[in-house]
Structure 1
Amino acid sequence: MVLPRNSEIHIQGKVKKEKFLTLNFRDAKIKTEVNRKTGEFEFILKNLEIGEAADLTITGKKESLTLSNVVVGDLWLCAGQSNMQYTARMLGLTDEEIGFDAESNIRLLNVKVATDYLPQEEIADGMWEEANRENIKNFSAVGYFFGQYLSKSQDVPIGLISSNLGATSIETWMGVDVLKTFSQFDEVTGEIESIGKDFKTLQAEFEAGESKWNKKYYHKGPGMEGEWWKEDLDESDWQETEIPMFWEYLGEEDHDGSFWFRKRFDIEKQSLNEDLVLKLNQIDDYDITWVNGHEVGRSFGSGNFRSYIVPKSFLKEKDNQLTVRVFDIGGLGGMYTNAFWGNKILNGKWKYKKGIKIDSKKFPKPVHPNGSIFSYPSLLYNGSIAPLHQLPVTGVIWYQGEANEQRGEEYEKLLSAMIADWRTKWKNEKLPFFIVQLANYRAETEEPKDELWPELRASQFKVSEMENVDIVTAIDIGEGGNIHPKNKAEVGRRLSYLALHYVYGMPLKKGPTYISNIIQGNEILVELNTYGSRLHKRFESEKIGGFAIAGEDGKFYWADAEIISDNTVKVWSADVPQPKYVRYAWSDNPGFLNLVNGFGLPVFPFRTDDFDLLTKGRVYQFDPHGF
């Protein structure tokens, strides 16, 4: 593993039947007393310096532990949603495209995704590995390329920690403490605080009374008594419907309780050699699921995603019987999430029959962990980020925002608050934090107009004005039809430029940013900060592109542009004789962009107007059926 240099490192654990322990690492030898009641111990290492790999040993009279091949260097957290999560293998990168350097000194830690209502002290799972040709293919591609560039330019061991998940909104990466400063999250934070227990405690409490609850309340009704999960059940009186659905839309508005769903499915012969992962997604509120008469899983909570392992011994090639008992304790009920996020088995026609009806006001409802892993505020922070606060990191690279496109204006405040909170929890008020601005995406815009992603990008850029926070743009390296563009090596390279400046003292290399503009007749002169290198066209034979201007009426037209000095561009349009406002790359996908500086880095999107945009005033609203 990599221990952080020049930091205070707390090494903690538990041991049985030892009074004292001794830690040895390099020249350090530390003795500590074990807590006699709990068996807990702690060592504190301070101000370690870079050096050769060594063993770290902890010994007592009866027990010992050795951590081998430990180095001291810098730790970087790679966090966000799918564009940070995507690995070289997921992107289909070849060995040549990955370009593994055996001389680089990089260690990798993939943090297993975990959620909870309360901040956890330990990650759910994860193991440090030395980077090699194989395991780098299963690590964040952006993270690996970032670390590779750092390692090549600095003689420092680099530890990369990947903690991310696709399709996630920013609020699920934020702790309750900071969410409480925003009133739009009151319903969620109030619920979490009223529960006041972590998932493990809630599960233990439920299991303690589950048998009695099942017998008295849950395992009731004609379906349970008639064993409607059996393969040879007579279905002649069952009706047919499409899934996903809520049964209230079938005219059953007053039915709380159970509905039973059955479906037949086949499996390709070659797939019978392995267990089946059955993904049923979100179900409101409870379910019990059977395959060919065997129970394969049960879950509680309308927001939770169902994923069950069906043993291969339960399966056959043709005519497998899938039965799901859905139990609603109030409000809408049904299997409601599209199968795009699960098995194809889920979509299409199912047979159904109404089961027991309950009085939802009187039915006892045990408290269960409940909330979408992708959107329920604070869950991912508690399980996947909070445990890392005990490990001093050098900085954070962050690639997220796509899931917040509908609330682009709000995003600025949320991300700023999240950064400040993470810094507080890491006890480093100047913790470097580097943002990837969203890439170009969707079809190229035919005419200038307001769109969602430019507003999210603008919020990301505003956040970068915080101290020790900066940003790179991917506006020129996206793929219009692919939300996961392949060129993660360039994203990593651009992020490394920021780290090399803020952490390692090298000159800043960054894409040009807007400074000011001057209107001269029918032209606008735009001044840019080029960070010490002059403007030029990436391809001299091509137009610059990306600019649009408007007059007093605020209607924008595509504009021509010309470089007139090292840091100034002249912009004009025959459609706007009296220009007042200018925008650049202000589209979901502005198309080909040809304006760069001497580092080959593109100009950041900007606008000079202050018109109200599409997401103005939009804030988070709790949705019990949110994805």
Structure 2
Amino acid sequence: MKHYFSTLTFLIFIFVTTGIQAEIKLPAIFGDNMVLQQQTEAAIWGKSEKNKTVKVTTSWNKKNYSTKADNEGNWKVKVQTPNAGGPYSITISDGKSLTLKNVLIGEVWVCSGQSNMQMTMSGYFNQPVTGANQAIATSRNEKIRLFTVKHEKSLEQQYNFSGDWQECLPENVAQFSAAAYFFGEMINETLGVPVGLICSSWGGTRIEPWISENGFGNFDWVNLPDKNSKEEFNQQVPTVLYNAMIAPMVGYSIRGGLWYQGEANRNQPKEYEKLMSGLIDNWRNEWGIGDFSFYYVQIAPFNYGPNSLNSAFLREAQFKASTAIQNIGMACAMDVGEEFCIHPANKKVVGERLAYLALANTYGMKGVEYSGPVLKEMTVEGSLVKLTFDHAKNGLTTFGKELKNFKVAGEDKRFVPATAHITRKGITLSSPLVEKPVAVRYAFDDFVIGELFNTEGLPASSFRTDDWEMK
């Protein structure tokens, strides 16, 4: 009798264990309420019993897709997605079925960076988001979905991370990235399609942790970690946030990426200029879906104190990076910085400026300006300096403010305040202290409130015409 019960127990154990092994398991990025990118071949992957046939059925076209799990139980299929719409369902079966419900098809954006991207609609302690309470109260929207990746770091690339797709309800929006939400809200309202926002960010982090090991081939000044090390490490180590918070979703169907970071790298602007385009190239190579759109926010002016390099050099590096590779752009925040708060409260204007970039360049919307004035040419006539600008077809404006942030220098390289005026062709400036000007700078200080705009209301970045030593 004992032998009988032992055999029965063993058989039950084998049956239960086999059942557990056969159960479909999906990474967190796939779940109820998710958004898949429209009009593409969207990858779906997971785990099952090894060598098991897995069938995926999509409700929008009733089509079946089959694949076979490998010797470790890994499987992957690509499903054809239709035009934006939903809700739909996706059923995945290896003999046992799992159904993903309330799935939308629309536009998917990955949103990453440090604390200004992480900053939720509720703000930080004593640091609000302007207009957040009203925005949260009116945020219920069946066509926007939110996913926040929980903080984690790793020396090795991970298969999964923690997080879940949430519906756009006030209680969820309150805890979601403000910059990302305002971006998504505008895209949804303007295009009338579902929008999925995936926020993977960590306050205070440098750019290096967000790049994979494969992305550092041209950056020999970066010391990569020993992946076999048993010592403690923090979130600033190169690759560790890519490994834990980006890699698990690489391959997920997306339209593009958003980035709000740079403050932590402000003292290394020359390196950052290369790393910024390097990160974008790296993500595009890892995703393997072509040169998807990528837009980022230039850091806002802030008083970093006397022991820090003038952060205008970092803003300059970000501006230069914006033309280094194709299909990218920079949103300027020169007018929203706060002298003693590194987290500008006006996240709505930041999100909207990112949206302008996407609407004009990714979605091809005509009539929408996406950039503030960009210096085109400087000419010198005696003691006068004349500047012309691109992205100012209808002219320039200060919205009633005086132009106070221009400086001019002669061959002695000493900058002094200049008197500047808007003209029909651009800006003319001069100073009685500089008879033969050779260089101009605009708003090229740590903290400054930009006052130069085009008539569409977008600010000019700080800029300089010289390439003199950084101080």
Structure 2-normalised TM-score?
A: 0.86
Q: 1:158-237 counterparts in 2 under 5 A?
A: 158-186=195-223, 188-189=224-225, 191-192=226-227, 195=228
Displacement of 1:52 in angstroms is 2.3
Task: Choose the corresponding residue for 1:140, options 156, 163, 177.
Answer: 177
Displacement of 1:538 in angstroms is 1.2
Q: 1:381-460 counterparts in 2 under 5 A?
A: 381-442=242-303, 451-460=309-318
Displacement of 1:133 in angstroms is 1.0
Displacement of 1:35 in angstroms is 3.3
SS in 2 for 1:88: coil
Q: Deviations over 1:153-187 (max 9, x none)?
A: 0121110000010110111111112224322224x
Q: Is 1:546 aligned with 2:408?
A: no
The equivalent residue for 2:192 is 155
Q: 1:400-549 counterparts in 2 under 5 A?
A: 400-442=261-303, 451-465=309-323, 466-507=325-366, 508-539=369-400, 542-549=401-408
- What is the rounded CA distance, in whole Å, between the counterparts of 2:135 and 2:104 in structure 1? 28
The equivalent residue for 2:456 is 599
| TM-align CA RMSD | 2.2
- What is the rounded CA distance, in whole Å, between the counterparts of 2:331 and 2:281 in structure 1? 20
- What is the rounded CA distance, in whole Å, between the counterparts of 2:203 and 2:70 in structure 1? 44
Displacement of 1:503 in angstroms is 1.4
Q: 1:251-400 counterparts in 2 under 5 A?
A: 367-373=229-235, 375-400=236-261
Q: Deviations over 1:519-546 (max 9, x none)?
A: 111110011112433212212xx31221
Change beyond 3 A, Cα 1:378–1:71: same
Change beyond 3 A, Cα 1:478–1:40: same
Change beyond 3 A, Cα 1:38–1:409: closer
The equivalent residue for 2:87 is 53
Displacement of 1:388 in angstroms is 1.7
Residue identity matched to 1:600: G
Residue identity matched to 2:468: F
The equivalent residue for 1:74 is 107
Q: Which deviates the most, 491-500 or 383-392?
A: 383-392
Residue identity matched to 2:151: V
- What is the rounded CA distance, in whole Å, between the counterparts of 1:41 and 1:429 in structure 2? 23
The equivalent residue for 1:126 is 163
Displacement of 1:444 in angstroms is 10
The equivalent residue for 1:608 is 465
- What is the rounded CA distance, in whole Å, between the counterparts of 2:135 and 2:85 in structure 1? 31
Residue identity matched to 1:109: F
Change beyond 3 A, Cα 1:443–1:371: closer
- What is the rounded CA distance, in whole Å, between the counterparts of 1:36 and 1:475 in structure 2? 52
Displacement of 1:104 in angstroms is 6.2
SS in 2 for 1:143: helix
Residue identity matched to 1:432: S
SS in 1 for 2:455: coil
Q: Is 1:560 aligned with 2:422?
A: no
The equivalent residue for 1:207 is none
Residue identity matched to 1:96: Q
Change beyond 3 A, Cα 1:19–1:382: closer
Contact 2:57 2:64 in 1 (8 A): yes
Residue identity matched to 2:347: K
The equivalent residue for 2:3 is none
Q: Is 1:581 aligned with 2:439?
A: yes
Displacement of 1:498 in angstroms is 0.1
* % identity of equivalent residues: 35
SS in 1 for 2:311: helix
- What is the rounded CA distance, in whole Å, between the counterparts of 2:50 and 2:273 in structure 1? 52
Displacement of 1:34 in angstroms is 4.1
Q: Deviations over 1:40-90 (max 9, x none)?
A: 4433202432122112112354x2111110011111011100000010112
Contact 2:410 2:437 in 1 (8 A): yes
- What is the rounded CA distance, in whole Å, between the counterparts of 2:234 and 2:51 in structure 1? 43
Q: Which deviates the most, 483-492 or 381-390?
A: 381-390
Contact 1:408 1:452 in 2 (8 A): no
Displacement of 1:33 in angstroms is 4.8
- What is the rounded CA distance, in whole Å, between the counterparts of 1:155 and 1:438 in structure 2? 30
Displacement of 1:377 in angstroms is 0.8
Change beyond 3 A, Cα 1:60–1:126: same
Change beyond 3 A, Cα 1:608–1:37: closer
Change beyond 3 A, Cα 1:36–1:473: closer
Contact 2:44 2:252 in 1 (8 A): no
SS in 1 for 2:258: strand
Q: Deviations over 1:281-332 (max 9, x none)?
A: xxxxxxxxxxxxxxxxxxxxxxxxxxxxxxxxxxxxxxxxxxxxxxxxxxxx
Change beyond 3 A, Cα 1:33–1:148: closer
Contact 1:49 1:73 in 2 (8 A): yes
Q: Deviations over 1:230-263 (max 9, x none)?
A: xxxxxxxxxxxxxxxxxxxxxxxxxxxxxxxxxx
Displacement of 1:502 in angstroms is 1.5
Displacement of 1:121 in angstroms is 2.5
Displacement of 1:19 in angstroms is 4.7
Residue identity matched to 2:216: L
SS in 2 for 1:161: strand
Contact 2:392 2:455 in 1 (8 A): no
Residue identity matched to 1:573: S
Displacement of 1:99 in angstroms is 6.3
The equivalent residue for 1:242 is none
Contact 1:444 1:590 in 2 (8 A): no
Task: Choose the corresponding residue for 1:28, options 62, 69, 80.
Answer: 62
SS in 2 for 1:52: strand
Structure with higher Rg: it is 1
Contact 2:251 2:288 in 1 (8 A): no
- What is the rounded CA distance, in whole Å, between the counterparts of 2:193 and 2:470 in structure 1? 45
SS in 1 for 2:268: helix
SS in 2 for 1:11: strand
Q: Which deviates the most, 501-510 or 97-106?
A: 97-106
Q: Deviations over 1:483-530 (max 9, x none)?
A: 011100000011100000121111342111111111111110011112
Change beyond 3 A, Cα 1:443–1:414: closer
Contact 1:32 1:42 in 2 (8 A): no
Residue identity matched to 2:170: R
- What is the rounded CA distance, in whole Å, between the counterparts of 2:210 and 2:305 in structure 1? 31
Segments of 5+ residues of structure 1 without an aligned counterpart are: 196-366, 615-627
Q: Deviations over 1:172-215 (max 9, x none)?
A: 111112224322224x35x33xx3xxxxxxxxxxxxxxxxxxxx
Contact 1:444 1:589 in 2 (8 A): no
The equivalent residue for 1:228 is none
Q: Compare relative contact order (CA 8 Å, sep 6+) and give the higher one, 1 or 2.
A: 1
The equivalent residue for 1:316 is none
Task: Choose the corresponding residue for 1:95, options 133, 144, 161.
Answer: 133
Displacement of 1:418 in angstroms is 1.3
Contact 2:50 2:69 in 1 (8 A): no
Change beyond 3 A, Cα 1:98–1:522: farther
